[in-house]
């Protein structure tokens, strides 16, 4: 989700690259699941998250929706999927009763990132540390690349930048449409193109995304 933020209030003021070490280590969250017990729809999913969820659960975007694992909502002026959260305090639908993530190896990008954020500036992005998030005390230093645990990180980061640009352009285009029916059609077409039309899960994601 795009946010207007005051970097001085929420971060240590530094920008980081994936090779940098940051104090985020929290002993693998043992005994804590606070950030997964959300009460609002803040974990917006991107196309790679959907590809990974479909591959990990051997399912489709429509099945994820129909089985209430994800939901649709308007975020940043576009219709986008987000993780479903229970309002009874249980939090994310993928959180086990023991407080562990049941999809850890293919969890979404936002979950991998937390408590880091991404800031987009001058045609590229950096990572930053959200100092008011994870309350774990005495955090240890971890390399961001290791924290994210994403294969082919440079390819993934190039995709993130591409997605950011596509998303920004679509937001601009959608904001110019004032006819309700036309806007619904635009939003539905965007959703279909990048999320709903199934990806071939036997083929790498990035080349398919580029084709779209």
Chain residues binding ligand SF4 by CB under 6 A are 26, 29, 32-36, 43, 83, 92, 94-95, 101, 103, 107-108, 111, 114, 134, 136
Which residues touch 101 (CB under 8 Å, ≥6 apart)?
36, 92, 94, 95, 107, 111
Q: How far apart are CA 128 and CA 45, in angstroms?
A: 20
Pick between residue 34 and residue 182 the one whose CB is nearest to ligand SF4.
Answer: 34
In the bound complex, what is the minimum distance in angstroms from residue 177's beta carbon to ligand SF4?
Answer: 33
Q: How far is the CB of 83 from ligand SF4 (least distance, A)?
A: 6
Quick one: 34 or 172, whose CB is closer to ligand SF4?
A: 34
Q: Shortest distance, CB of residue 186 to ligand SF4, whole angstroms?
A: 29
Residue 139 or 164 having the CB closest to ligand SF4: 139
Q: Is the peptide bond before 115 cis (omega within 30 degrees of 0)?
A: yes
- Identify which of residues 32 and 57 has a Cβ nearer to ligand SF4 in the complex: 32
C-alpha dihedral, 145 to 149 to 152 to 153, nearest 10°: -40
Q: Which residues partner with 79 through β-bridges?
A: 74
Host H or E run for residue 113: helix 109-113
Altogether, the residues listed in the chain come to a count of 212
Instruction: Give the number of other CB atoms < 10 A from CB of residue 53.
Output: 23
The answer to whether 83 touches 75, Cβ cutoff 8 Å, is no
CB of residue 211 to ligand SF4, shortest distance in Å:
28
Comparing CB distances to ligand SF4, the nearer of 46 and 186 is 46
| Shortest distance, position 24 Cβ to ligand SF4, whole Å | 8
Q: Which is nearer to ligand SF4, 82 or 167 (CB)?
A: 82
DSSP string for residues in 42-56: --B--HHHHHHHHHH
Q: Residue 173 Cβ, how far from ligand SF4 at the closest point, in Å?
A: 30
Which of the 8 DSSP states describes residue 36?
A: G
């Amino acid at each position: 989700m795009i946010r207007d933020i005051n970097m001085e209030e929420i971060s240590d003021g530094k920008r980081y690259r994936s090779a940098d070490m940051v104090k985020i280590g929290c002993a693998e969250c043992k005994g804590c699941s606070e950030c997964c017990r959300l009460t609002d729809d803040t974990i917006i999913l991107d196309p790679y998250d959907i590809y990974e969820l479909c591959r990990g659960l051997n399912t489709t975007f429509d099945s994820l929706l129909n089985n209430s694992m994800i939901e649709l909502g308007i975020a940043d002026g576009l219709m986008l999927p987000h993780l479903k959260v229970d309002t009874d305090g249980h939090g994310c639908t993928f959180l086990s009763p023991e407080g562990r993530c049941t999809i850890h190896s293919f969890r979404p990008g936002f979950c991998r990132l937390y408590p880091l954020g991404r800031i987009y500036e001058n045609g590229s992005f950096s990572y930053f540390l959200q100092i008011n998030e994870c309350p774990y005390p005495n955090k240890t230093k971890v390399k961001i690349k290791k924290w994210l645990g994403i294969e082919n990180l440079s390819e993934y980061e190039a995709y993130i930048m591409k997605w950011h640009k596509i998303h920004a352009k679509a937001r601009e285009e959608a904001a110019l449409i004032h006819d309700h029916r036309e806007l619904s059609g635009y939003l539905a077409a965007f959703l279909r193109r990048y999320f709903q039309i199934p990806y071939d899960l036997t083929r790498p994601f990035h080349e398919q995304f580029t084709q779209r």
